[in-house]
Chain A
Amino acid sequence: MQRNLFAALAGGLFGAGLLISGMTDTLKVQGWLDVFGQWDPTLAFVMGGAILPMIAAWQLAARMGLSRLGSPLPLRPDHRLERNLVVGSALFGIGWALAGLCPGPALASVSFGGWGSLLFLSAMLAGMVLAPALRRRINRQQHNRGTSLMEIRHLTDRYAVSPQIGPEDVAALKAAGFVRVICNRPDGEIPGALHAAQMRKHVEAAGLEFVDNQIVPGNFTAEIIATQARALDATGPVFAYCASGNRSSVVWAMSQAGKVPAETLITTAARWGYNLEPYRDRLG
């Protein structure tokens, strides 16, 4: 309830800001993009005004660990530049310029913008429904060309995790300096091409070590934790993967219990959005 109330407040403040700044006026937005015509600088002031409080907010967030309502804060920016990001932004820019509306102002002005606003919003929602199929297609193209889309999430400078990887990611792991790869995902969850035995072949072919330590969700036994702890003891950085990277984070934290304070373990994982709070009693 509290969460929804604060969400509505943030949404309302956002809407008021868009209205007051003039961003619901499509001519202002088009005027800002019209560098070769009569340029209107307003949007630059809006962006600047909005970015300032957010710079402070990110600084504050870095010291908080969890949000006021107890959610993990998304602290580490993602630096992957996939084709979807560039293609999508280019398409968005065209639509933004043609109508002078982006999603925020489109919603903020829908109540008073007449039929045109409703039509724009409907078309935008239709585009959002169509997008996932297109995104999968672009991802598949990149995947087929062997481009790695993996995001390496460092928990320490010697241990990193990620969601499920594929054969196309092994070269990037080697290039990043990892010497050992731990599989924490049970074969039963994934198609045969990604089973541990297959991944072992790809990883070992690249000259890295492979450790098979599959974890069924919630099943963090003493043996599994001990296997992970032994695997962490390597000559260089170690990389582990499961479905989301969550299990690889939990089992790592449990292997560090007693050596590192529980609070540090929890906030470290929370930086990547992994919630270790439910396991607090096993981390102390």
Chain B
Amino acid sequence: MVVSMQADWIYGLGGGLLIGLAAASYLLVNGRIMGASGIIGGLTDGSGRDTWAERSSFLIGLVGVPALISVSFGATPTHLTTNVVTVVAAGLLVGIGTRLANGCTSGHGVCGISRLSLRGIVATAVFILSGGLTILLFRHVLGVI
């Protein structure tokens, strides 16, 4: 248990560095902020019509590389709940929420906090707080997730 915990930290930090390098490259080479919800959102609401090729390329990489890794080394379990209502409700909330807030964990969390953007810091604080309260309510009070 203790050993696997330590390995988790190391994988977390290493994977985190790769995420940061991806965001740094997208900023310095393409001149764009790497926010997953914004990149997809520009395709769903038409605001990214002029940059659809760049957005789609990013998404192809984001879906494709993990697909290749999972085919080569075996898929890692996602442990996603099998409760259809929870999955649909969660998906809708994530979709609506990130578009209203103009960002998610990558855009506000990684790219915003690293430049000390007030919006990024406030958004991250709010979604962590609301996420923490949700777990408290649904896991410990109601016992449903």
The residues of A with any CB-CB pair to B shorter than 8 Å are 3-28, 30, 33-37, 40-58, 60-61, 64, 66-74, 77-81, 84-104, 106-114, 116-117, 119-132, 134-135, 138
Contacts and interface: CB of A to CB of B under 8 A. Distances in A.
Interface of B: 8-9, 11-34, 36-37, 40-41, 44-45, 53-67, 69-70, 75-82, 84, 86-102, 104-106, 108-120, 122-124, 126-136, 138-140, 145
B91 to A, nearest CB: 3
Contact of A3 (B44, B54, B79): B54
A7 B58 contact: yes
Contact of A93 (B21, B66, B88, B128): B128
A48 B16 contact: yes
Nearest to A108: B66
A202 B133 CA distance: 45
Nearest to A79: B118
Q: Which 5 A-B pairs have the closest CB atoms?
A: A127-B95, A49-B16, A21-B15, A123-B91, A88-B100
Contacts of B88: 119-120, 123
A16 B80 contact: no
Given A93-B127, A116-B82, A54 B31 contact: no
Given A60-B28, A112-B67, A26 B44 contact: no
The A interface, classified by DSSP as helix, strand, loop or mixed, is helix
A69 B91 contact: no
Contacts of B116: 77
B139 to A, nearest CB: 6
B44 A111 contact: no
Given A17-B19, A99-B94, A46 B34 contact: no
A33 B90 CA distance: 15
A67 B92 CA distance: 35
A93 B131 contact: yes
Given A21-B15, A87-B100, A124 B94 contact: yes
Given A54-B111, A67-B27, A113 B80 contact: yes
Contacts of A4: 53-54, 56-57
A244 to B, nearest CB: 13
B17 A17 contact: yes
Contacts of A33: 128, 131-132, 134-135
